[in-house]
């Protein structure tokens, strides 16, 4: 009877070591992100793998640029659109979580309440799947990111790695693809158009969602931008 117990004990220790190793590696990666720009991301790898089963040729556009080379208007538009309390919370916006829960109860409509930090963690280390496992890992990594990185660095990484279309990653690639200019030259209107794409980047194109653009512009004005 001792063998099954010993086996389970060893298995438990092995699993614990694997989990500790996994989180140690990710924590080290997050620390390095204070100074090092990512060569690729988990979502970029996911899209590359998905492309193997599709007939169309997949081409990735990804150019990492420092925050100084991204128009302030785009920085403001993304915060206003995706995470208005970005500078107030510590990774989770509990006000938006409560609003989303109440809205689902009242209307049955499901909407996300992910912060910029949560979206960054998903893009860097996880996948676009909506499984509870992914969300659980994401929830444990968000406090580490907020602790190790500044808000400015989190936003800089976010603007550089999120999707803006099939194979288009980051503000510089998006600006060049859609407007034929570098990200630092984006106007307020162009920035708002790009922000409207982020909720569904594989389906949306800039300039096709004027009503949502007006909402973003109003939020920016309310926030002093």
The two tokens of residue 225 are 């931008």
How far from 162 is each of 15, 61, 63, 204, CA to CA, in Å? 32, 12, 11, 14
Q: Angle, nearest 10°, between helix axes 116-125 and 72-82?
A: 100
Break the chain into its structural domains and give their ranges.
Answer: 1-26, 33-222
Tell me the fold of 33-222: Penicillin binding protein transpeptidase fold (1.10.3810)
Determine the Cα–Cα distance for residues 24 and 213; give it in Å rounded to an integer.
41
CA 47, distance to chain mean position in Å, is 15
Cα-to-chain-centroid distance, residue 111: 16
Q: What is the radius of gyration, based on Cα positions, of the chain?
A: 20
pLDDT tens, residue order, the chain (225 aa): 556 678 788 888 888 899 899 899 999 999 999 999 999 999 999 999 999 988 878 999 999 999 999 999 999 999 999 999 999 999 999 998 888 777 767 766 666 679 999 999 999 999 998 899 999 999 999 999 999 999 999 999 999 999 999 999 999 999 999 999 999 999 999 999 999 999 999 999 999 999 999 999 999 999 999
pTM tops 0.85: yes
Q: How far apart are CA 152 and CA 86, in angstroms?
A: 10
Q: Taking Cα atoms as reference points, which of 73, 93, 59 lies closest to residue 177?
A: 59
Contacts of 192 (CB under 8 A, 6+ apart): 73, 77, 213, 216, 217, 220
Condensed to tens digits (0 to 9), the pLDDT of residues 143-196 reads 999 999 999 999 999 999 999 999 999 999 999 999 999 999 999 999 999 999
- H/E stretch holding 95: helix 94-107
Name the strand (E) or helix (H) holding 121.
helix 116-125
């Amino acid at each position: 009877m001792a063998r099954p117990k010993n086996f389970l004990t060893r298995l438990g220790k092995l699993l614990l070591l694997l989990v500790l190793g996994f989180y140690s590696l990710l924590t080290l990666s997050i620390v390095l992100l204070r100074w090092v720009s990512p060569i690729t991301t988990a979502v970029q790898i996911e899209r590359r793998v998905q492309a193997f089963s599709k007939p169309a040729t997949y081409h990735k556009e990804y150019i990492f640029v420092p925050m100084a080379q991204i128009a302030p208007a785009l920085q403001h538009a993304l915060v206003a659109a995706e995470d208005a309390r970005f500078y107030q919370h510590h990774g989770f916006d509990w006000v938006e979580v409560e609003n989303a829960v109440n809205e689902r109860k009242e209307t049955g409509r499901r909407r996300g309440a992910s912060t910029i930090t949560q979206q960054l963690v998903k893009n860097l280390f996880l996948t676009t799947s909506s499984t509870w496992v992914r969300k659980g890992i994401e929830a444990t990594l968000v406090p580490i990111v907020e602790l190790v990185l500044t808000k400015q660095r989190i936003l800089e990484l976010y603007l550089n790695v999120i999707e803006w279309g099939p194979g288009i990653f980051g503000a510089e690639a998006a600006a060049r693809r859609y407007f034929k200019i570098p990200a630092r030259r984006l106007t307020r209107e162009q920035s708002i158009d790009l922000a409207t794409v982020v909720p569904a980047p594989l389906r949306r194109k800039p300039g096709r969602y004027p009503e949502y653009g007006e909402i973003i512009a109003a939020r920016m004005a309310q926030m002093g931008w």
